[in-house]
């Protein structure tokens, strides 16, 4: 979440949906080095599996009800926090070549095939662009309870795409 989080929390409370401007992506250089966790958890609730399960201590909450923050210097891109978050509130973002990015998404529906072309959706569930599935992690392989998938989309949508819809379904 961005620093002026109180005002943004108010906006989120009205709609239930975060806007791109409510979320600070890590620096471009970091995103080019490796995938970094992007936490979109604006509600102050007593919850911290993300903090407890990060193997390098990259996630901190000031107290159990606080909004979690990621230390992007420490994050290794392992995605354990995505797999452990019961709120499906964590994503991984990595900048890849050719102005593309990979976004790892918690996904509890039937997983698509790797290589499958999908419709990439924004936080409102609206189609943004076409993407490709580059990886999937089924529930039985997840270290938490959350399956994930990773898609590749144009980099300009790194802070916009947050879900998918399978084509022709």
Contacts of ligand SF4 in 30-49 (CB under 6 A)? 37, 39, 41, 47-49
Q: Does 77 bind ligand SF4 (CB under 6 A)?
A: yes
Q: Which is nearer to ligand SF4, 78 or 161 (CB)?
A: 78
Query: What tokens appear for 62 in the block?
Result: 């000031």
Taking CB under 6 A as the criterion, the residue among 23, 31, 38, 70 binding ligand SF4 is 70
Q: Which tokens is 101 given?
A: 């990015």
Q: Does 103 bind ligand SF4 (CB under 6 A)?
A: no
Q: How far is 115 from 124, CA to CA, in rounded Å? A: 25
85 binds ligand SF4 (CB under 6 A): yes
The verdict on 80 binding ligand SF4 (CB under 6 A) reads: yes
Distance between CA atoms of residues 115 and 144, nearest Å: 24
Q: Are 155 and 101 in contact (CB under 8 A)?
A: yes
Question: What ranges in 16-105 are assigned the alpha helix state H?
Answer: 28-33, 49-53, 80-84
* Residue 152 DSSP SS3: strand
* Candidates 81-89, 130-138, 144-152, 157-165; binding stretch for ligand SF4 (CB under 6 A): 81-89
Cα 101 to Cα 161: distance, rounded to the nearest angstrom:
10
Among 89, 101, 118, 153, binds ligand SF4 (CB under 6 A): 89
Given the rule CB under 6 A, which residues bind ligand SF4? 37, 39, 41, 47-50, 54, 56, 58-59, 68, 70, 75-81, 85-87, 89-90
């Amino acid at each position: 979440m961005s620093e002026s989080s109180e005002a943004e929390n108010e906006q989120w409370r009205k709609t239930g949906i975060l806007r791109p401007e409510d979320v600070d992506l890590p620096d471009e250089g970091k995103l080019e080095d490796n995938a970094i966790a992007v936490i979109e958890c604006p509600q102050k609730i007593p919850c911290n599996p993300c903090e407890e399960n990060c193997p390098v201590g990259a996630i901190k909450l000031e107290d159990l009800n606080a909004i979690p923050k990621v230390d992007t210097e420490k994050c290794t891109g392992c995605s354990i926090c995505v797999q452990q978050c019961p709120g499906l509130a964590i994503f991984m973002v990595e900048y890849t070549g050719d102005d593309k990015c990979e976004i790892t998404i918690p996904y509890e529906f039937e997983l698509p095939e790797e290589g499958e072309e999908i419709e990439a959706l924004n936080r409102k569930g609206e189609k943004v662009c076409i993407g490709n599935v580059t990886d999937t992690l089924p529930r039985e392989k997840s270290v938490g309870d959350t399956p994930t998938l990773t898609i590749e989309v144009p980099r300009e949508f790194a802070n916009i795409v947050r879900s998918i819809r399978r084509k022709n379904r």
